[in-house]
Amino acid sequence: MKKNVAIVAGGDSSEIVVSLKSAQGIYSFIDKEKYSLYIAIVKRDGWHVRLPGGEEAPIDRNDFSFCEEGVVKRFDFAYIIIHGTPGENGVLQGYFDLIGMPYSTCDVLTSALTFNKFVCNNYLRSFNVRVADSICLPKGGGITDEEIVSRLGLPVFVKPNDNGSSFGVAKVTAPEELQPAIRKAFAEGTEVMIERYIAGTEVTCGCYKTKGKVVVFPLTEVVTQRDFFDFDAKYNGQSEEITPARISIELTRKIQQKTSDIYGILRAKGIIRVDYIVPEDGDPVLLEVNTTPGMTAASFIPQQIRAAGLNIQDVMSDIIEEELQKVGK
């Protein structure tokens, strides 16, 4: 009998538009001969499942079940593809742990840690991972332009610390731009991270591990027509994404090993993506760890899976079966 898989999308942040696109990507990637797929939308104002006929059915929050044609159905597995809260920060993972539902992403602790960019980067710094200097501002916290420039110089990146990186991000090149950028970032999160700008080649590397294998994907090089890799660059065709990246084999292997090491340090689960900048000295600098990477057909991870010569259906099955086996399903 086919297992019922919920592709859990939606969320309560601006990232919902990306999440819904990724859900369609995941739906197209998973083997429908092996699994019965449903897209489940989780938002603050309601949880529901999209049924095959186009109707919607409410989800019972007690056990994440739903009713289809008068029959109560329960999911065997949840593929979480919410970018932002509550699916990327550990909240939904905690709920699924409580009801005993296996899921695709990192656990509560790792999800919460990686969702907070400042905390994650400084945690990894203690494992000799190179990161840029940064400042974290809590909601209501203030800092002068002079202090920022004194500590980090210019340019800097200003971004929501506890949300995704598609909205509320600004590259600041002049002191008078700092406070507007901070206000913009606070509109998307409760904390703001101000990070020293490092010039270089931007690359990203995906990775997943199961009991039987370690797979680190080829790197993607990001060349954007904009100041940085923002929403328009990501989703409106204003960037060039080159897989594999145009860097040396030696540097590629170094970054792949670093990605695998980070996966282990964080005790990650499922597919993660780690973003880097490679400055002139050739020593990669971590930008951030993404434990719920985008999964549209044009996203980095599907590109990297294709470049690795892998079948994305097999990768999805690997991740699902790994978790089902843990609970004896």
CATH 3.40.50.20 maps onto the chain at: 3-104
Burial of 119 (0-12, 13-18, 19+ CB in 10 A): middle
CATH 3.30.470.20 maps onto the chain at: 112-130+200-319
> What is the separation of C-alpha 327 from the centre of its chain, rounded to a whole number of angstroms?
25
Look-up of token digits 């996966």: 263
Q: Could you tell me if 234 and 202 are in contact, meaning their C-beta atoms sit under 8 angstroms apart? A: no
Beta-carbon contacts of 233 under 8 Å, excluding residues fewer than 6 positions away, are: 224, 225, 226, 239
Give the predicted TM-score (pTM) of the model: 0.92
- Please, what CATH class does the domain formed by 112-130+200-319 belong to? alpha beta
Max intra-chain CA distance, the chain: 65
CATH level 2 (architecture), domain 134-196: 2-Layer Sandwich (3.30)
- Please, what CATH class does the domain formed by 3-104 belong to? alpha beta
CATH 3.30.1490.20 maps onto the chain at: 134-196
pLDDT at 189: 85
- Amino acid identity of 196? R
> What is the separation of C-alpha 107 from the centre of its chain, rounded to a whole number of angstroms?
14
> Splitting the chain (329 residues) into consecutive groups of 10 residues, what average pLDDT does each group show?
96 90 97 97 96 93 96 97 94 98 98 96 98 94 92 96 82 95 91 96 96 92 70 57 96 98 97 97 97 91 97 97 90
pLDDT at 246: 96
